[in-house]
Amino acid sequence: MVKFLQPTQWGKLSLSNRIVMAPMCMYQADTNGVIQPFHFAHYTARAYGGVAMVITEATAVEARGRISDRDLGIYDDQHIVGLQNLVKAVHQSGSLIAIQLAHAGRKSGIQNQTAIAPSAIAFSQDYGTPKAMTLAEIKDVIIAFEKAAIRAQKAGFDGIEIHGAHGYLINEFLSPLTNHRQDQYGGSIENRTRFLKEILQAVRKGFKGEVWVRLSAEEYAEGGHHVLETIQVLKLIQPFIAGVNVSSGGVVPTSIKTQPGYQLPFAKQIQEAGILTIGGGLITTFEQIEAALDTDCHLIYLGRELLLNPYFVLQHIKKHAPERMLKPYQRG
């Protein structure tokens, strides 16, 4: 059997194959963060298209934690019913579904609200200077993640991915480039990881499914995290996670040289350190998927390729295991 079709485990979750849909911001919610008809068509198409698990776009745990005012939210009980209906629809379409819980921190684009961050350092001249969080505000955000996890449990999600990548709030605490605190949440790598660790502990209290993180393994900037520092962070939180969805960049403005599979070497190093990985990065061919699963990662995430071709996986299932296709599609 080809590698991507092999059923596998991701922590407590049993996946029918080794392909997951990457979380990608869609900016199609209403201005209160409520799910819209677009999301049902968008996510169920990829589920019918054969991915083993859908991971939703970044879903904010606070209103001020949205990247834009069209982000999905899970910061209010009014969000539960819509998300619950989405979970049911994706399950009926044949896939598992996880939710990515997020807080934009200093990269929030919400108007008339002051962004928060570990330190009062703006991302760029296009963003305002955020407010450095007090200890009480740190506790409030941790509680917001816990409440979001409880809502995710009520909605029926199979898993939670904590967004600790791309320069958003958790990444801002992890990185020495953005965290200049002098208290228990700053300084050493143990202290800078404390915020994420406490979020994971809180989320685990409110959610019974599987939990993992997405991290930027490489920050592409002097003085920032590289893959060895990322492994240190992961070792500190390993008891609380199934593994890591490996991405890179975003914590500070910098140019990144991209190419197909450019993030896979980071996933390979992390997996060789004893932590299961979801790897990817501009993966567009069956051959790239098979090679990556052979040496680099446990699961593959697909993003951009699925935007224009939601049946990419199904097309390769037809070639290699047509009996596993949904019966109405077998004539395709």
Give residue-wise pLDDT tens across range 255-284. 898 999 999 999 999 999 999 999 999 999
DSSP state, residue 328:
G
The answer to the question of residue 11 being in a domain is: no
Q: How many percent of the chain have pLDDT more than 90?
A: 95
Q: 133: helix, coil or strand?
A: coil
- The beta strands (E) that lie in 103-203 are given as 116-117, 131-132, 159-164
The answer to the question of residue 9 being in a domain is: no
Angle in degrees, 0-180, between the axes of helices 264-272 and 227-237, rounded to the nearest 10: 50
In tens, the pLDDT along 205-235 reads: 999 999 999 999 999 999 999 999 999 999 9
Q: Which two tokens stand for residue 326?
A: 């949904």
CB-based contact 4:17 (threshold 8 Å) = yes
> Does residue 1 surpass a pLDDT of 80?
no
Under the banding of pLDDT at 50, 70 and 90, the label for residue 331 is confident
The answer to the question of residue 25 being in a domain is: yes
Report the alpha-carbon distance of residue 279 to residue 296 in Å, rounded: 7
Closest CA to 33 of 25, 44, 22: 25
The answer to the question of residue 102 being in a domain is: yes
The answer to the question of residue 2 being in a domain is: no
CB-based contact 297:271 (threshold 8 Å) = yes
Report the alpha-carbon distance of residue 46 to residue 44 in Å, rounded: 5
Q: DSSP characters for 132-143?
A: EPPHHHHHHHHH
Q: What are phi and psi of 96, to 5 degrees?
A: -80, 165
Cβ count near 258 (within 10 Å): 12
Residue 162's domain spans which residues?
A: 16-329
The answer to the question of residue 4 being in a domain is: no
The answer to the question of residue 287 being in a domain is: yes
Closest CA to 206 of 136, 143, 141, 161: 143
Q: Which helix (H) or strand (E) holds 295?
A: helix 286-295
The answer to the question of residue 263 being in a domain is: yes
CATH code for the domain in which residue 203 is found: 3.20.20.70
> Does residue 327 surpass a pLDDT of 90?
no
Number of domains present in the structure of the chain: 1
Closest CA to 10 of 275, 198, 220: 275
Closest CA to 91 of 145, 13, 24, 23: 13
